[in-house]
Amino acid sequence: MTTLIPTAAPRPASLDAVLAYAWDAADFTATDAMEATGLTRTTAIDAMDALVELGLLRELPNAREAGSYRKGRPARRFELRDDAAVLVGVDAGHVHVTVVVTDLRSRPLATQRRTLELDRDDGATRRALILAAIDDALGTAHKDRADVLAVCIGVPAPVNSLGRSPRHPTGFWARMNPDLIDALAWAPLVRVDNDASLAAVAEGTIGAAAGCRDYIALLAGARLGAGVVVDGNVLRGAHGGVGEMVAFDHVEGVGSADGLGTRAAAWALAAVAGGELSPGGALAAVPPTELDGRAVLELAAHGDADARAVVERVGGVLARIVSVLGSMFDPERVVVSGAISAGVDEVVAAARRSLPTDLDLPAPELVISRLGADVVVTGAIAAASVMARDRALDFRTAAARG
């Protein structure tokens, strides 16, 4: 078990420089650290020894002890103690909760998935289930709360800079974020954020927007949500409301914040009820109870004419959404993210064909995420890693000497 204890400040900048280098390096010597950081040999060695004392680096056997020493004085070698603490990322969705526990290098140690009972969807029950899922994931990784350095959790609600959500007319946002910032106060570093914003973090870190400074991650399965990145920064707003899509209720040709999957299912069911489908067609053969967005998208991908007609209509709506987002935020790229991305190729192709060519600003590039349903928890781990890198030196671990 790791015990994380706040350390005294201030500290030499050399510690931050060497730790930042060590976080991405394999084993290294003082010479390696000097070349990477520009520090003198004495300063680099002092920093490495201090980081060993803090439990964040470990000294490895030297070349003589490792059996590869030839002649001369063997160099001391070090590496990051990636087991000094763990990171926790959580996607606390409306229906599903996913928890991932990783080491300090973001390598997964355990994953826990839960499905929530919507008829018991009150804030207290949700909070307890989320905490239980975190504890179970930690247990699977043979860790507990005392081992955690940073937790990041994504929720389907706007979240302000303090980790709290504003009031919603139906109380939905309070149920999705039932004071989680307080419930997670046992962790040294905590971030509660909007799920689409964390999807944007994931896309910019290892996804379809890597290297891009102006982009939008569009979660578009059941409901629309957007993580907006401008000049390399995730936008939040006074109440965390940047990226909330309720404004589309008032946009002609869109009409609501319903996601792509929801629209595909609704329009397919309407076509069934209206007798508009081809007799004997694949779409007509799907029982109404099984006719969801994924089924429509799969049939379209296999060439069913009725499903393709629905998809073409959904693509037209996506084009309108992208056009509005483009005029509001001027992104270089819009990434369709989340579970829906696995089968949305036909919708995106239709949207590209429908994108207006007479916009005042160039239309954003429309691309599909390859991070799948775990995009939010991937972003949560990435955000937790940033917190850990920035503030690991604020804590002394149980691995520390003395």
State pLDDT tens for residues 213-246. Answer: 999 999 998 899 999 999 999 999 999 999 999 8
What is the total count of domains within the chain?
3
Query: Cis omega (within 30 of 0) on the bond before 166?
Result: no
Residues 125, 59 within the same domain: no
Residues 364, 232 within the same domain: yes
pTM of the model: 0.92
Predicted confidence at residue 360, as pLDDT, reads: 82
Looking at the domain assignment, is residue 254 inside a domain? yes
Residues 302, 160 within the same domain: no
Residues 99, 161 within the same domain: yes
- Average pLDDT over all residues of the chain: 92
Residues 128, 191 within the same domain: yes
Looking at the domain assignment, is residue 397 inside a domain? no
**What CATH number has the domain bearing residue 107?**
3.30.420.40
Residues 124, 219 within the same domain: no
pLDDT cut 90: percent of the chain above it: 84
Looking at the domain assignment, is residue 248 inside a domain? yes
Residues 190, 233 within the same domain: no
Nearest to 156 by CA among 243, 89, 96, 94: 94
Residues 200, 235 within the same domain: no
DSSP string, 222-285: SB-EEEEEETTEE---TTS-TTB-GGGGGSTTT-S-B-HHHHHHHHHHHHHHTT-SPTT-TTTT
What is the pairing mode between strands 148-155 and 86-92? parallel
Predicted confidence at residue 402, as pLDDT, reads: 45
Give the span between the Cα atoms of 20 and 27, in whole angstroms.
13
Looking at the domain assignment, is residue 170 inside a domain? yes
Residues 57, 35 within the same domain: yes
Looking at the domain assignment, is residue 152 inside a domain? yes
From 59, 81, 103, the end of a domain falls on 81
103-107, 132-136, 191-195, 286-290: segment of lowest average pLDDT? 286-290
Q: Given a cut of 50, is residue 24 above it in pLDDT?
A: yes
Residues 118, 172 within the same domain: yes
State pLDDT tens for residues 303-316. Answer: 999 999 999 999 99
Looking at the domain assignment, is residue 400 inside a domain? no
Q: Which domain holds residue 173?
A: 86-207+377-392
Predicted confidence at residue 9, as pLDDT, reads: 64
Residues 245, 184 within the same domain: no
Residues 236, 342 within the same domain: yes
Q: Given a cut of 90, is residue 1 above it in pLDDT?
A: no
Q: Please compute the mean of the pLDDT values over residues 294-308 and round it to a whole number.
A: 94
**What CATH number has the domain bearing residue 38?**
1.10.10.10
Taking each helix axis from N to C end, the angle separating 305-329 and 260-273, rounded to the nearest 10 degrees, works out to 140
DSSP string, 308-343: HHHHHHHHHHHHHHHHHHHHHH--SEEEEESGGGGG
